[in-house]
Amino acid sequence: MLDFQRNIDEFGKKNIRIIAASSDTEEDAGKTVDRYGLSFSVGFGLIPSEVSAITGAFFNLEKNHLHATGFIVSPEGKIENAVYSSSAIGRLTASDCLSFIKYMMSL
């Protein structure tokens, strides 16, 4: 999330909003927002098994948590790109998102 915060101005120039959500409690999500100085919306309280069923995100049943899952969504609400991680690597980066969005806007 810090990567996206560091690039928030570049997204803003393209009128692109960044949002994040997690299964953290409101308190823990707030700590993350404070720790990284996030200025974009961060949702909380997702139910991991339900999100996994709806989105296909990898779900760790033993730890009851989702693995990182990222989406680039068009203004019309269409998922243009999705990245599913099954461990500690394999996430969307701000740079990759900006490059992909630039490409999509050129079509």
Helix, strand or coil for residue 62? coil
Whole-number Å distance between alpha carbons of 7 and 79: 21
The one-character DSSP state at 24 is S
Asked if residue 87 has pLDDT above 90, the reply is no
Task: Copy the structure tokens of residue 51.
Answer: 């999100």
**C-alpha dihedral (50, 80, 75, 26), degrees to nearest 10:** 30
pLDDT digits (tens, 9 = 90+) for 33-73: 999 999 999 999 999 999 999 999 998 889 888 999 999 99
Confidence (pTM): 0.88
Cα(26)–Cα(43) distance, rounded to whole angstroms?
Answer: 8
The domain locations on the chain are 2-106
* CATH fold label, 2-106: Glutaredoxin (3.40.30)
